[in-house]
């Protein structure tokens, strides 16, 4: 996804968010310092034979942010504009997300600077295997468990798991999650982020007295998360999805869209734009629509101090990572918009990845209903924990999610005698 790399410094934003809970958690300066930097980083240089007989060199990274609560976990991104700073910030977010959802895991992230759109399948396979060989010593089923992320997918995970297994001279299915089902991936992983997000929205709606049947929804982004968010809005709760968008623009229909048909249109034409019977709108206009639920499911930093006062949704459900800046957070809170923060709202993906780890470790297979029910329990519990903290401290949901999550990481570090 070409434009996923943020303009604003995501690491700076993550650090600002840590600062918001320093007072409430009474964090000592040394503790704060640990929270501001990753515990381990590896920069690797990968040489990969290309189809034309040349050799290309690629930079790669793996950042393990904090493992006080368990082995680190986080995706691998293949992107031409990848930077170590973005990877660091996303590794930090993974640390808080795992802690918030009470997973026995720390946070990590990895990436390779490359353009997969310009590479053949063979080149991608050789790159994926080279990356695993380079970070082999740092990862493992009990140490650090990668997963798919931007421009990586179950196919890439299968190659990576295979390379790790070859080096270990035994099958190590548990070293990677997000694998294809026939290589012991989990049921329900594909929809997990959006489904988990909707369980959180359901709880928010109950709390606010909002009836989701017929409630209007706008979704920014129509990839894995955005499409599933639109599909589940209609199929789970009978909401009316009035707007959707992608990198080429957005569409609006007062009568509501059929999310599956929009998906087919996008698959055939390359965009949601031009779907019959809809009005074209910009991504900026989509954010400012008068809807009950707004789901940013694409980019970082789209809700800023410039447009926050024009957001009209009652609920903003952050299924993307980092869609709202700290300044915008304050404006939305003052205006009474109920924001479900990213580390809470989009935790369904890592929760089901954790379920995959558990199934691999015990050689179990959970059916789809079991996965969904366990996901619902975890999302509902986390939502109410964050909501209760927000009410008792009289702070916004972002701050309370950080107080709960960072508080758990700090408690683990202290009990282990690190600080
Ligand atoms: P994806 O690549 O499948 O889809 C991204 C979508 O965003 C595409 O439809 C793309 O066209 C659209 N997009 C790109 N630029 C845009 C722009 N300028 N305006 C509007 N739309 C634009 O990615 P995804 O897996 O759906 O991830 C989306 C977001 O959710 C990211 O922030 C990601 O970090 C976050 N997230 C994903 C998961 C997961 O399980 N996939 C888990 C947690 C968080």
CATH of domain 40-174: 3.40.50.10860
3-state secondary structure of 68: coil
pLDDT at 8 (0 to 100): 57
298 CA distance to ligand 1 centroid (A)? 4
pLDDT at 405 (0 to 100): 97
8 CA distance to ligand 1 centroid (A)? 17
169 CA distance to ligand 1 centroid (A)? 36
Cα 110 to Cα 51, 88, 114, 219, 365, distances in angstroms = 25, 9, 13, 27, 28
**Is 248 one of the catalytic residues?**
no
Name the token pair of 338.
């109920």
Q: What residues have CB less than 8 Å from 255, skipping those under 6 apart?
A: 240, 277
- Site residues for ligand 1, CB cut-off 6 Å: 1, 3, 193, 220-226, 245-247, 283, 297-299, 319-321, 346, 349
Q: φ, ψ for residue 236 (rounded to 5)? A: -85, -40
Q: What residues have CB less than 8 Å from 312, skipping those under 6 apart?
A: 288, 289, 290, 291
Work out which ligand 1 atom sits closest to the CA atom of 271. 11
pLDDT at 5 (0 to 100): 42
For the purposes of burial, counting CB atoms within 10 Å of the CB of 138, is it exposed (0-12), middle (13-18) or buried (19 or more)?
middle
Residue nearest to atom 36 of ligand 1 (CA): 320
101, 404 Cβ separation under 8 angstroms: no
Domain 40-174 identical in fold to domain 192-345: yes
pLDDT at 3 (0 to 100): 40
Low-confidence ranges of the chain (pLDDT < 70): 1-8
301 CA distance to ligand 1 centroid (A)? 13
Work out which ligand 1 atom sits closest to the CA atom of 151. 2
pLDDT at 24 (0 to 100): 84
Name the token pair of 120.
């053949």
Domains in the chain: boundaries: 40-174, 192-345
Work out which ligand 1 atom sits closest to the CA atom of 322. 32
pLDDT at 246 (0 to 100): 96
Catalytic residue among 109, 179, 240, 378: 109
User: Could you give the CA distance from residue 133 to residue 127 in angstroms, rounded to a whole number?
Assistant: 10
Instruction: Report pTM.
Output: 0.96
User: Could you give the CA distance from residue 406 to residue 36 in angstroms, rounded to a whole number?
Assistant: 11
CATH of domain 192-345: 3.40.50.720
């Amino acid at each position: 996804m070409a434009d996923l790399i943020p303009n604003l410094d995501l690491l700076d934003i993550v650090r600002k968010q840590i600062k918001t809970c320093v007072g409430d958690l009474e964090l000592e300066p040394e503790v704060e310092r640990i929270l501001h930097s990753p515990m381990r980083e590896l920069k690797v240089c990968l040489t990969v034979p290309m189809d034309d007989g040349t050799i290309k060199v690629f930079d790669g990274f793996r950042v393990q942010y904090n493992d006080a609560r368990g082995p680190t976990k986080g995706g691998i991104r293949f992107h031409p504009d990848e930077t170590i700073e973005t990877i660091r910030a996303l590794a930090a977010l993974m640390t808080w997300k795992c802690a918030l959802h009470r997973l026995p895991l720390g946070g990590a992230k990895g990436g390779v600077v490359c353009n997969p759109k310009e590479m053949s399948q063979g080149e991608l396979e050789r790159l994926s295997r080279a990356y695993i060989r380079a970070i082999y010593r740092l990862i493992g089923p009990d140490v650090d468990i990668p997963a798919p992320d931007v421009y990586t997918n179950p196919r890439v995970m299968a190659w990576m798991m295979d390379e790790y297994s070859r080096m270990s001279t035994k099958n190590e299915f548990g070293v990677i999650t997000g694998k294809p089902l026939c290589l012991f991936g989990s049921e329900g992983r594909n929809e997990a982020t959006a489904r988990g997000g909707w369980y959180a929205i359901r709880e928010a709606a109950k709390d606010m007295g909002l009836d989701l049947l017929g409630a209007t929804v706008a979704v920014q982004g129509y990839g894995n998360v955005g499409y599933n968010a639109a599909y589940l809005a209609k199929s789970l709760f009978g909401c009316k999805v009035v707007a959707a968008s992608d990198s080429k623009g957005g569409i609006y229909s007062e009568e509501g869209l059929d999310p599956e048909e929009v998906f087919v249109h996008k698959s055939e034409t390359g965009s949601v734009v031009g779907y019959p019977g809809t009005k074209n709108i910009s991504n900026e206009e989509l954010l400012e629509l008068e809807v009950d639920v707004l789901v940013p499911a694409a980019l970082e930093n789209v809700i800023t101090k410039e447009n926050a006062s024009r957001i009209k949704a009652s609920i903003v459900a952050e299924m993307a990572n980092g869609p709202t800046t700290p300044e915008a957070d304050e404006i939305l809170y003052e205006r009474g918009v109920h924001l479900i923060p990213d580390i809470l709202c989009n935790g369904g993906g890592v929760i089901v990845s954790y379920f995959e780890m558990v199934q691999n470790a015990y050689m179990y297979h959970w059916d789809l209903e079991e996965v969904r029910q366990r996901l619902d329990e975890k999302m509902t519990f986390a939502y109410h924990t964050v909501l209760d903290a927000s009410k008792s401290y009289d702070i916004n949901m972002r701050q309370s999610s950080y107080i709960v999550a960072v508080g758990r990481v700090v408690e683990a570090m202290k009990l282990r005698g690190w600080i």
